[in-house]
Structure 1
Amino acid sequence: MADLFAGLPVTSIAASVPWYEQLFGVAPFHPNEVEAVFEADEHRYVYIEQKPSIAGHGFVTLFVDDLDTHLAAVADRGLLPESEETYDNGVRKTLFRDPDGNEIGIGGGPAAA
């Protein structure tokens, strides 16, 4: 088993952490003053790093077991995706953008009938 860390550049850690807490529903740990790490799932982390010169140019996609339940929990925390797409094979992907414009996709299997 390997741990996965996916990073996204942001303008300000202080300004970005609340938005990511809404998205992931967890508080981060801070390995230093310019990074915040969120555990998306066991051994899978998304971290944000304060890098103003490249902020907003990142993208990452996560897949979850139950997309509808996951999206409902995120909505309960105050965030809605900006778009949703369904591919020919029934896989769905939603797209969120953080305050800097980084794209965070959350996908899953077909919608429940």
Structure 2
Amino acid sequence: MPLELFAGVPVTDYASTLPWYERFFGARPSFLPNDTEAVWQVAEDRYVYIVEDGERAGNALVMTFVDDLDTRVAELARHNVEPMRRETYDGVTKVTYRDADGNEISLGRGAL
């Protein structure tokens, strides 16, 4: 089975949330399907998107694994994006961020 991912994060206000995600991903969206949705390609055939959906906003949990966790955390800090917690368990380090709606967007490193 090919491994592909298209993970969605519902947000209350697309326009005000978009800049936070641009700082988090370190880039403008890969594409904009419509006026209330933005998509970032995080790896080959793997995407994370935000979509304006106030009824479901604040309940997303998304984690991506990166090779250079400490570098990414430092880059985010330079862009005023600070983690809410950092934890290590079973050989995995997880750094968790929250957007304005409370969605948890995490970065991880280590063995799965």
Query: After TM superposition, is the score higher than 0.5?
Result: yes
SS at match of 1:70: helix
Shift in Å at residue 80 of structure 1? Answer: 1.3
Counterpart Cα distance in 1 of 2:66 and 2:23: 16
Counterpart Cα distance in 2 of 1:39 and 1:77: 20
Unaligned runs of 5+ in 2: none
1:64 aligns to 2:66 (yes or no): yes
Letter in 1 for 2:110: G
1:23 aligns to 2:15 (yes or no): no
Letter in 1 for 2:58: G
Letter in 2 for 1:108: R
Letter in 2 for 1:58: A
What is aligned with 1:100? 101
Counterpart Cα distance in 1 of 2:101 and 2:9: 10
Shift in Å at residue 13 of structure 1? Answer: 1.0
Partner residue of 1:77 out of 61, 79, 92: 79
Letter in 1 for 2:41: E
- TM-score, normalization: structure 2? 0.89
Counterpart Cα distance in 2 of 1:8 and 1:57: 8
The 8 Å contact of residues 22 and 79 in structure 1, kept in 2 or not, is answered as yes
Shift in Å at residue 109 of structure 1? Answer: 2.5
Counterpart Cα distance in 2 of 1:46 and 1:39: 7
1:36 aligns to 2:38 (yes or no): yes
1:6 aligns to 2:4 (yes or no): no
Unaligned runs of 5+ in 1: none
- TM-score, normalization: structure 1? 0.88
SS at match of 1:52: coil
Counterpart Cα distance in 2 of 1:94 and 1:78: 15
Two-structure CA RMSD over aligned residues (Å): 1.5
Seq. identity, %:
50
Of the structure 1 ranges 67-76 and 6-15, higher mean CA displacement relative to structure 2 is found in: 67-76
